[in-house]
Structure 1
Amino acid sequence: MASWQALADEARLWADSGRTGVVWWRDDDAVDVGPALERLLAIRQEWAVSLSLAVVPAQATAALAARLSAAPDVDVLQHGYAHVNHALASENRKMELGLHRPAMMVLGELGTGWLALERLFGAQALAVMVPPWNRIAPTLVPMLPEIGFKGLSTYGRRRRPRPVQGLLEINTHVDLIDWKGSRGFVGESAALALLVSALTRARAASPPASAEPVGVLSHHLAMDGEGWDFLRSLWQRATMLPGLRISPARALFTTETVSTSSFVTGEASG
């Protein structure tokens, strides 16, 4: 368990070392406008923090695109294709980007999804894949750069910054939802413990340049009141802590973001 003081202490250790801990914010499952999205955008605006939205291409609406055009600094990441589970019931782990279908079919859908995001969101869309349920078959990862993806974002500590050549992995580490329990807010102490632990681990990275950005993961369509309160408090406090910097996804993936012309639909080797 951890407290706000523990977060402040960790931020001070970063500052005392002359370094800056990098935090970023990803919110998943965006498809349309609504009260929850407005609440999310209001928090972002209130504390001037960078936000990236993982958008489901097959469900994304023109209304969402129009709303985000008024917030051009919000980055759009690709959240699979349709957020549909193709795993067997016996597997007990939902998965869209698995080997339950031919790889060419999966990759073809992802290419189609990118074209939809490009059409709707233009330059706001980044060439970053966020697998639904944060799961992707390992054998599909090397194929992502072949269809134009330059970034991958899942959940948990990454094994290496670049799992394959041409692909940068930047994950989230603090999920605010207790999916295996109440399906509500995981709790202030638990969320702060995850955050402080991830920052401490990043600070201990050797060499320091290899420190992993720490990602906070929210789901605006599943948040309860306590979760919203924590999110607001987190950004209010984090923006004032020396030693921490909240970075936009675009800056983190900047060397890996390319023009949409590199995308192909359903054409990948392997």
Structure 2
Amino acid sequence: MTDFSDLSRELDRWLDMGRKANLWWRDDDACRASPALTRLVAAARRHHVPLALAVIPARLDGSLETFIEEEGGADVTILQHGFAHENHAAAGGRAVECGGARPAEAVMAECAEGHRSLRSAFGRRFRKVMVPPWNRIEGPVAEALPAAGYEALSVFGPRPVALAPEGLMEVNAHLDLLTWKGGARFAGAEKLVRLCAERLEDRRLGRSDSAEPFGILTHHLDHDEATWDFLDRLLALLAAHPAVRWPSAAELFDAKERAT
């Protein structure tokens, strides 16, 4: 049984200082209804935690629209996960859809098509937030997002690593439950507990941006039983601790300044 005591102690330190750790939860690669998505949304409902689903527009199946309408509840928000989750990297480059061998104008034309699709399917649940596939976006594409009306960018890692252009918020994920080298698999409970505690400590001590909500990242289509079990235990701890706060989508993506 995994020991969560290091994480609990770190949260207790936040509480002793009279501070709240703002957390959010992003799940990537949604495109259709599935047993895994049902399980994901059930976990969000069980722990009363808001869920942001990053949806791939070009792969959107009508079953997802129906599922979200009927089962999503008030705290499921839809974000845009690129366009088709296809690699357009230049020869020898790392996988990227928001950039690569194509001009920024072509990428943004796809983004606009994806935006229209998601807005039509999900209405007010949809926020114009770009979550680039593989958490990679190249400079010219990122710089074009504010003029296209995007509210925010969400990649992986602390904000100073990949600063958004002026006029665009950046709200990232910081703890990925999966590891990807050699194929998606559970990153391991002990490692994840340690990383979560360490990264929250970095915020508390000012070693990273304490104003940025700490993001949990999942990929429901790639979870095995160990991942599901860990997610449930992690959410149970984080949702119950008085030092943790889960901002709504409106708070995440509307506020220009936040304090932890």
TM-score > 0.5, shorter chain as reference: yes
Residue 215 of structure 1 aligns to a residue in which SS? Answer: strand
- Is 1:75 aligned to 2:77, yes or no? yes
- The 1-side partners of 2:104 and 2:182 are apart by 33
1:96-111 correspondence to structure 2 within 5 Å: 96-111=97-112
Residue 236 of structure 1 aligns to a residue in which SS? Answer: helix
Shift of 1:185: 0.6
Corresponding residue number in structure 2 for 1:173 = 174
Shift of 1:46: 1.2
Shift of 1:19: 0.8
- Structure 2 vs 1, CA of residues 182 and 80 (structure 1 numbering), >3 Å: closer, same or farther? closer
Corresponding residue number in structure 2 for 1:195 = 196
Corresponding residue number in structure 1 for 2:151 = 150
Count of matched residue pairs: 253
- Is 1:28 aligned to 2:28, yes or no? yes
- The 2-side partners of 1:80 and 1:168 are apart by 17
- The 2-side partners of 1:3 and 1:201 are apart by 21
- The 2-side partners of 1:187 and 1:247 are apart by 27
- The 2-side partners of 1:169 and 1:8 are apart by 27
Residue 24 of structure 1 aligns to a residue in which SS? Answer: strand
- The 1-side partners of 2:135 and 2:247 are apart by 21
User: In the alignment, is the contact (CA less than 8 A) between 2:135 and 2:156 conserved in 1?
Assistant: yes
Equivalent position amino acid for 2:15 in 1: A
- The 1-side partners of 2:182 and 2:249 are apart by 29
- The 2-side partners of 1:40 and 1:178 are apart by 19
1:1-270 correspondence to structure 2 within 5 Å: 3-70=3-70, 71=72, 72-88=74-90, 90-91=92-93, 93-159=94-160, 163-181=164-182, 183-205=184-206, 210-255=210-255
- Which is bigger in relative contact order (C-alpha 8 A, separation at least 6)? 1
User: In the alignment, is the contact (CA less than 8 A) between 1:75 and 1:248 conserved in 2?
Assistant: no
User: In the alignment, is the contact (CA less than 8 A) between 1:77 and 1:125 conserved in 2?
Assistant: yes
Equivalent position amino acid for 1:29 in 2: D
- The 1-side partners of 2:215 and 2:33 are apart by 24
User: In the alignment, is the contact (CA less than 8 A) between 1:152 and 1:169 conserved in 2?
Assistant: yes
Shift of 1:204: 2.0
Shift of 1:181: 4.4
TM (normalized to structure 2)?
Answer: 0.91
- Flag structure 2 segments of 5+ consecutive residues without an equivalent: none
User: In the alignment, is the contact (CA less than 8 A) between 1:10 and 1:199 conserved in 2?
Assistant: yes
Residue 185 of structure 2 aligns to a residue in which SS? Answer: coil
TM (normalized to structure 1)?
Answer: 0.88
Q: Cα RMSD between the aligned structures?
A: 2.0
- Structure 2 vs 1, CA of residues 162 and 32 (structure 1 numbering), >3 Å: closer, same or farther? same
User: In the alignment, is the contact (CA less than 8 A) between 2:26 and 2:52 conserved in 1?
Assistant: yes
Shift of 1:249: 3.2
Deviations 1:178-224 (A, max 9, x none): 1014621100011112211221111123898x532110100000011
Task: State the identity as a percent.
Answer: 40
Question: Which stretches of structure 1, 4 residues or longer, exceed 6 Å deviation after superposition?
Answer: none
